[in-house]
A and B are shown apart, each in its own frame.
Chain A
Amino acid sequence: MAWAIAFVIPYAVVFSAFVVYPIAYGLWMARDPSLYRDLIANPLYAQTVVNTVLYVGLGVNVKMFLALLLSGFFMRRRWWITALLPIFILPWALPAIPAFVSFHWMLIGEEGLVDSLLSALFGIQGPLWFTDRRLALGSNIVAHIWKWLPFWTLTFFAARTAIPQEIYEAADVDGASGFRRFAHIVLPLLGNLYLVCTLLSTLWTIGDFTTVALVSGGAPSYSTNVLATLGYYYAFDAAQPTLGIAVVMSALPVLIPIAIILMRTLHTREVQL
């Protein structure tokens, strides 16, 4: 027992010094209710909340669904699919800063690679991606999916390889293939894992700063910020740290229930990551 405590102490120290204390300190800094009244009255905050919902809602769900489908694609035994896998996971291995800086430059307008390709291949004049709010928001979402799709595809791929081959063989004997195989074998077996991964990814994506900061940078005129980048903007560029903390802490009523559902799902259903 004494040993068990000794083994846990390093983690307990990290947890209390760098998680509990900063959270408590942050809440204390942003304790003034008038901050939240100011935020609610602020149209920039309202727009940022909408952006965050769109960014997380679309980004996470499209990414997870594609990952689930692609993990099935990578199960196919073809040499060229096996050869593709290491290239496909390159976005995950590539650090975030270079990747998103590259996205920014690809979409910088007429000089960007995307618009250059559009005009070279199809003769179309491409749009100015960061002058239109919807296009800029979409660029952020696509960049997010690009970066994190491989990680979740690999997670589902690993789970699929652990499904016993006999189950597929039995399904073959029964004549089930394609969509029915997906609906009756893959979904029931991976359903819980899918739920857990989606929740975890939602938590991670709500806190995503780097993608939006580097791809659109909030352009045009602060209209594509998410909570993390707006909080940063208030705290460091506008020198209003308490308002910055209030921006991010206002997400707690959403974050904490998700974390609790995640914990309960992990416990009650014996899901494995």
Chain B
Amino acid sequence: MRARRVLVEALSVMLAVVLLIWSLTPVYNMLLIALDPDEGDIEFEGIIWPPDPSLHSFHTVVTQGYWLLEDFWRQFGNSFFIGLMTMLLTVLIGSLASFALGRMRLSQGWLLANAPLLTYAVPASFLVIPFSRLMASYGLSNSLWAIIAANVTFATPYAILILRQYATLIPIELDQAAQVDGASPVQVYRRMYLPLMAPALAAVGTFALLLAWNEYLYQYVLLSSTRNMTVAVAIAQFFNSDEAPWNYMMATAIIYSLPPIVIFYVLRGYMAAGLTRGAVRG
């Protein structure tokens, strides 16, 4: 029995080490390339450690010192704007819809309740061609709002799903009591529903933000001018250029990765709570 315990413990430690290497290797690779001081063709053969680490490429990115990075901060702002708007609109639209569907006994609820999942029957990437033509006819081509619309469309279904599940934890009697006291649906929504749903809203908001930050295809197809581009598209631009300043590209990628990671870890406590509640009905 004792020998078995030791064996299990040893296997756990091994698994932990494997997971550590698995999770960190691609991240390490980014640092390895970004820390190389040389521009242009870099000879990486056999290199597993930066021979001459330097922050030169980060400096170049931050000071916009390379022609592909001329609008870096503006593009960074665009990414931020898209991310924040996606987050806000997803939380707003998702919470309104989940409130109506879960707490107000909408008589035609079936279709609406299933509409979110129907959205996933046709993946976002499959709709990019009709979507881009549609945006042209709505007068939104090369506009950040086109990206926000796409992101919100594909983040809201999941948001409604999670919010409706979380809302089952809040007794419906609370709403009824408030209505007896003369509260309007808007008041119930604002004063009770939103505060009580805070953990789930944080989880859903983070999900939407990460979705926006992960998204690449729509930005690539819909945003054509350099000034309206996002960092995600700017990173991809490196592949199309003849020169190969891969250290700049990786430095850009690392800086681009920082905001979601920070937000993610700050909100992690909420996220766990939002996802956990009512996960299993025994």
Chain A residues within CB distance 8 Å of chain B: 1, 3-5, 7-8, 10-12, 14-15, 17-19, 21-23, 25-26, 29, 70, 73, 76, 78, 80-81, 84, 86-99, 101-103, 105-106, 110-113, 116-117, 119-120, 146, 154-155, 158-159, 161-164, 167, 189-190, 193, 200, 203-204, 206-210, 213-214, 227-228, 231-232, 235-236, 241, 244-245, 248-249, 251-252, 255-256, 258-259, 262-263, 266, 270, 272-273
Contacts and interface: CB of A to CB of B under 8 A. Distances in A.
Contacts of A235: 129
Contact of B48 (A120, A206, A248): A120
B261 to A, nearest CB: 5
A8 B122 contact: no
Given A86-B265, A95-B232, A158-B275, A259 B117 contact: yes
Interface centre among A4, A23, A99, A106 (most CB of B within 10 A): A4
Contact of B130 (A22, A193, A200): A22
B50 to A, nearest CB: 11
A7 B96 contact: yes
Contacts of A207: 122-126
Given A7-B99, A111-B43, A252-B122, A101 B235 contact: yes
A273 B48 contact: no
Nearest to A99: B26
Contacts of A154: 272, 275
B228 interface: no
A206 B15 CA distance: 30
A15 B30 CA distance: 38
B250 interface: yes
B246 A84 contact: no
A255 B249 CA distance: 36
A102 B280 contact: no
A163 B279 CA distance: 9
B59 interface: no
Contacts of A231: 125-126, 129
Contacts of B214: 95-97, 210
Contacts of A87: 20, 23-24
Interface stretch (B60-68, B70-78, B252-260): B252-260
Interface centre among B94, B128, B156, B256 (most CB of A within 10 A): B128
A162 B276 contact: yes
Contacts of B261: 90, 93-94
B25 A113 contact: yes
Contact of A256 (B97, B121, B221, B256): B121
Interface centre among A101, A164, A235 (most CB of B within 10 A): A101
B186 to A, nearest CB: 7
Nearest to A103: B26
Contacts of B114: 263
A116 B48 contact: yes
Interface string B183-200: 011100100000000000
Interface of B: 12-13, 15-16, 19-20, 22-30, 32-33, 43-48, 92-94, 96-97, 99-101, 104-107, 112, 114-115, 117-131, 133-134, 149-150, 152-153, 156, 160-162, 165, 184-186, 189, 210, 213-217, 221, 232, 235-236, 246, 249-250, 253-254, 256-257, 260-261, 264-265, 268, 272, 275-282
Given A3-B104, A99-B26, A116-B46, A158 B126 contact: no
A22 B256 CA distance: 31
A161 B276 contact: yes
26 contacts: A3-B186, A4-B105, A5-B106, A10-B97, A11-B96, A12-B112, A19-B118, A90-B23, A90-B261, A92-B264, A102-B26, A102-B29, A110-B45, A113-B29, A119-B46, A155-B275, A158-B272, A158-B275, A159-B279, A162-B276, A162-B278, A207-B125, A232-B125, A241-B129, A259-B120, A272-B278
B282 A14 contact: no
Contacts of B32: 113
Interface centre among B119, B185, B189, B235 (most CB of A within 10 A): B119
B221 A236 contact: yes
Contacts of A89: 264
Given A113-B29, A266-B117, A270-B281, A210 B253 contact: no
A14 B275 contact: no
Given A95-B214, A113-B29, A231-B126, 6 more contacts: A25-B134, A29-B130, A84-B16, A90-B24, A102-B27, A102-B250
